[in-house]
């Protein structure tokens, strides 16, 4: 029985096949992201849904549907199987009593980027890669630096100077080669691109969707949601969308599970949530376009979704179209306000990106796009603890002999 049933890589745009047994970046024919393909008949023959519950409580329980060939190559910090929490009180307040939160705040490195890093780093090491480089808005760089350290890989990380400070410290703690740029992730991307080109193949590019395995790690959120609901799908999933890897990954996972015959019926309506200050996907969706255009002057406190031109935009828009989903914006003011309400009503301090998805759930319920009886899952993609500045403190300081009465 094979640990992985990976067969090959396939271009997400033109379908060209690529060899999965050597390092690959974009499609050699058209420059689009590559997607991992599996022998699903072999998966179906070797495992059934009930088996997973008996396995390790992390994302590696789905190893047949992941690209790492050997269990010895797995680099793990215990990522995955995060809680799917009922949000009854807050849900009642916004008119969605069946609201659930998939809480990725409880994962190593404090954001769901750990899933992509665990699988991407493991596969890179298995393929003999020794040095990685990537641009990041913070969380991905932190996760790849820390998982890279665990796997013994060298990492070069380039991030905007105003990315969340904690992510910078995570890179330094891991011993990564960290550089800051006075610009956006797109500027960091150009700098990394030059390094890769000059390295003569010695540095591997792990930019978002420029290597095929990060998405495989992130797709496990979709499998987990289904497993946690007893091999059923919810009606709607809301996802704070930057590069869109998680949304593309969840869509890919649900299609694989449906092809396996482990779930049936229509897929959940997927919702791409963006900030009003950076909404290339929403703009393209509303115009009925199949690709996005670069969003000039992008700006939002939800740093993880500040991506002016996602490389996988066409895959995001396809996932929305195929699931009868939608795309919506929220303002920074709305998401910061929502963050406080979620914490005060549920005791969960979510990240600003997660708060954006909650604000979108409220809006879509108010507009009637989501019905009151629907089961809705909001992805909270990171821990609120990573963003202390979202909650200013103005508590009075008592004198040492002070009293409250
Ligand atoms: C990266 C990130 C996102 C966006 O993820 P994509 O898969 O790139 O769309 C959302 N939230 C947080 C906290 C992130 O770090
Ligand atoms: Zn192609």
pLDDT, tens digit, 9 for 90 and up, residues 25-42: 999 999 999 999 999 999
Q: Which domains does the chain have, with CATH numbers?
A: 84-111+215-385 (3.40.50.1100)
Residue 1 has a pLDDT of 77
Q: Indicate if the pLDDT at residue 388 is higher than 80.
A: yes
Pocket test for ligand 1, best of 304, 313, 330, 360 (most atoms within 8 A of CB): 304
Contact (CB, 8 A) for 81 and 359 = no
Q: Which CA distances in Å does 263 have to 210, 233, 234?
A: 30, 8, 11
Instruction: Name every protein residue with a CB atom under 6 angstroms from any ligand 1 atom.
Output: 111, 113, 139-140, 208, 240-246, 304-305, 351, 353, 381-382
Contact (CB, 8 A) for 132 and 203 = yes
What is the DSSP track for 335-379? HHHHHHHHHHHHS--B-HHHHHHHHHHHHHHHTTSS-TT--EEEE
Residues 6+ apart with CB under 8 A from 373: 98
Q: What is the mean pLDDT of residues 347-363?
A: 98
Cα-based angle 360, 364, 368 (whole degrees, multiple of 5)? 170
Q: What is the pTM of this model?
A: 0.97
Position 287 confidence tier, pLDDT thresholds 50, 70, 90? very high
| Residue 37 alpha carbon to ligand 2 centre in Å | 15
pLDDT, mean over the chain: 97
């Amino acid at each position: 029985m094979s640990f992985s049933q990976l067969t090959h890589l396939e271009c997400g745009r033109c379908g060209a096949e690529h060899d999965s047994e050597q390092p690959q970046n974009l499609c050699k024919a058209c420059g689009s992201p590559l997607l991992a393909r599996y022998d699903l008949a072999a998966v179906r023959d070797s495992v059934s849904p009930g088996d997973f519950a008996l396995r390790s409580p992390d994302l590696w329980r789905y190893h047949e549907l992941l690209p790492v060939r050997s269990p010895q190559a797995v680099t793990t910090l215990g990522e995955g199987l995060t809680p799917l929490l009922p949000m009854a009180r807050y849900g009642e307040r916004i008119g969605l009593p069946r609201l659930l939160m998939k809480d990725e705040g409880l994962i190593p490195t404090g954001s769901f980027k750990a899933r992509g890093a665990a699988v991407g780093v493991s596969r890179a090491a298995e393929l003999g890669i020794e040095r990685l480089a990537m641009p990041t808005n913070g969380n991905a760089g932190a996760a790849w630096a820390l998982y890279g350290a665990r796997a013994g890989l060298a990492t070069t990380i380039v991030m905007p100077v105003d990315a969340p400070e904690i992510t910078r410290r995570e890179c330094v703690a891991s011993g990564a080669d960290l550089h800051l740029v006075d610009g956006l992730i797109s500027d960091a991307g150009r700098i990394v691109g030059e390094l890769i080109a000059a390295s003569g193949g010695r540095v591997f590019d792990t930019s978002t969707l420029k290597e095929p395995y990060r998405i495989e790690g992130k797709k496990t959120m979709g499998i987990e949601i289904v497993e946690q609901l007893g091999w059923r799908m919810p009606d709607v999933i809301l996802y704070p969308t930057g590069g869109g890897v998680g949304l593309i990954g969840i869509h890919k996972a649900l299609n694989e599970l449906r092809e396996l015959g482990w779930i049936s019926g229509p897929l959940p309506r997927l919702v791409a949530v963006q900030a009003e200050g950076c909404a290339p996907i929403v703009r393209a969706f509303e115009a009925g376009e199949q690709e996005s255009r670069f969003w000039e002057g992008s700006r939002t406190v939800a740093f993880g979704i500040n991506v002016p031109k996602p490389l996988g935009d066409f895959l995001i828009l396809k996932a929305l179209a195929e699931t009868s989903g939608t795309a919506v914006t929220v303002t920074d003011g709305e998401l910061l306000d929502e963050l406080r309400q979620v914490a005060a009503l549920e005791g969960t301090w979510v990240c600003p990106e997660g708060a954006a998805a909650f604000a979108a759930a409220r809006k879509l319920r108010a507009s009637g796009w989501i019905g009151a009886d629907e089961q809705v899952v909001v992805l909270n993609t990171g821990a609120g603890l990573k963003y202390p500045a979202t909650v200013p403190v103005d508590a009075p300081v008592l004198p040492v002999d002070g009293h409250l009465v």
